[in-house]
Structure 1
């Protein structure tokens, strides 16, 4: 498996005992929620407004996450439509805080930008993004 991440590191957190399933591994729903948080950060920065998750494409767990692992979530905007965006998300762990780094899962999240009343609204053109956001996006 490649040790190259795809996208930009968006969040990092430590897996804790309270996040485990009955087998002692970190609960998959916790990992999914961390990925959704990171994807939402990426999507809202690209949209420069409120966004909501509308779908998730093909997530599969490659390796388990263990208590004490540092979970890093990487995001990349891969497609921008009129009101929606697709965000590629990878989750990687660093075992034992400083040890082996492994990819544990990946997925594509779809978000829709919303206006103040909660209706879909256009995602701004890349050319209209503020300077701080320009370096983050390829699409």
Structure 2
């Protein structure tokens, strides 16, 4: 992959509230739900940069640091770390803000990963990001 380094300050790409319907058998927020929020947030940034449709190619080393509880405010922050001919690598961090169970304003980083997205054309084929 011919790559161009892209250094962009991380920005918020998605914010939502953890709901009871998103829990696992232990009553915590399901890790798959967290990963889907990260994927949506990363795709938003990848679409903005590539100026079109993208698909998720790969998730690199997903790490969870803390659990999420119902009612936590979930924020996904992202920045592009690499742009290739047809793909982008986006680093994504998930932070939560405890609204009810911790002192007001307590924030915690609970997950991180790098997602690779591929820019696609209207037929679903890879396309060049920069022409």
Q: What is the TM-score when the length of structure 1 is the normalising length? A: 0.83
**Counterparts of 1:72 and 1:28 in 2: how far apart (Å)?**
15
Which residue does 1:108 correspond to in 2?
114
Matched ranges for 1:13-92 at <5 A: 13-92=16-95
How far residue 124 of structure 1 moved from its aligned partner, in angstroms, is 2.0
- TM-align CA RMSD: 1.2
How many residues are matched? 120
Residue 127 of structure 2: aligned partner:
121
State the distance in 2 between where 1:123 and 1:116 align.
Answer: 14
Q: What is the TM-score normalised by the length of structure 2?
A: 0.88
Q: Structure 2 CA distance, aligned partners of 1:68 and 1:99?
A: 14
- The 1-side partners of 2:34 and 2:63 are apart by 11
Q: Which runs of 5+ in 2 are unaligned?
A: 1-8
The residue that corresponds to 1:130 in the other structure is none
Structure 1 residues 13-46: Cα deviation after superposition (integer angstroms, max 9, x where no partner): 0000110001010000000000000000000000
Q: Indicate the residue corresponding to 1:134 in structure 2.
A: none
C-alpha distance after superposition, 1:88-139 (max 9, x if no partner): 00000001264310000000000000011111000127xxxxxxxxxxxxxx
1-structure distance, mates of 2:39, 2:54: 12
Residue 55 (structure 1) shift: 0.2
Give the counterpart of 2:105 among 96, 99, 105.
Answer: 99
